[in-house]
Structure 1
């Protein structure tokens, strides 16, 4: 299935594409290379999605380019299955994570990056969520600002699933 948006991979860029709702959330979770490694394993094993209870399934144990996964947005009978595919995986010495993009059937069109960053200058580890999206279904268009608030609420919840250490 093709991605539902033209800007595939754009969460890699410092500037997110125009025409979408865009946001970045970055916060410190602690210090040390060990914390960075543990947090990276958590992210790459879909720990953020599992931790907030939306993970349904993926065709690989850890995020790899091309991995297809299903998340479930909403609760109970009001939940919506939302298919995604991993666009790319970050595996840099000081930055690890992955981005997934939306597939047909997802209520939004866009991409989201889930990552951790290590700053060797002061040993700080950061959790990072970067996203751009626009409604793809009538009910997300109708939800407007409420859908945007829900997306930000989830981003904060994703970061709370990360292992943490002492924040100086």
Structure 2
């Protein structure tokens, strides 16, 4: 079982309302080059399909009218956290996803700072990834860092 915890200070606690909106509407994923559909506010039981934009941080390229994206798989939202000091959600991957497990995306107010936390517990879900488990772990770490950095960029742009 792979366990990951990525925690990052992403700015002032005053930015929490923007961060709440970003995390509960899949903007966190978009900022890391992940496309989530449907693109609506998260809710328990919601099934979402995920794709990776291989041209990130650029826009999704198109070929003959089709988006060039890499399928990641589907997930189901198991829990939504939305309080005056925390916002986020937990999803579980569905069969066919590249990983098998759960992932949590959370922003929280800690004193006067805003903290982003991305955690996961998973095993490779695809036979090729099982054979290359260290690459899978490194990719998860890279994506967690991209999620947090993307949120930080989004908040910085909104704060200008």
**Alignment TM-score > 0.5, same fold:** yes
Question: 1:90 and 2:81 equivalent?
Answer: yes
Question: 1:71 and 2:60 equivalent?
Answer: no
Q: 1:74 to 1:132 in 2, by over 3 A?
A: farther
User: Residues 38-57 of structure 1 correspond to what in structure 2 (within 5 A)?
Assistant: 38-57=18-37
Q: Which runs of 5+ in 1 are unaligned?
A: 1-19
RMSD: 1.9
Choose the corresponding residue for 2:13, options 32, 46, 53: 32
Cα pair 1:117 1:125 within 8 Å, conserved: yes
Choose the corresponding residue for 2:107, options 109, 116, 121: 116
Q: Which runs of 5+ in 2 are unaligned?
A: 56-67
Q: TM-score, normalised by structure 1?
A: 0.77
Choose the corresponding residue for 2:94, options 94, 103, 108: 103
* 2:138 match: 149
Q: TM-score, normalised by structure 2?
A: 0.81
Q: How many residues align?
A: 142
Q: Any idea what SS the aligned residue of 1:105 has?
A: coil
Cα pair 1:73 1:82 within 8 Å, conserved: no
1:70 Cα deviation after fit: 0.8
Q: Which has the higher strand share?
A: 2
Q: Any idea what SS the aligned residue of 2:132 has?
A: helix
* 2:64 match: none
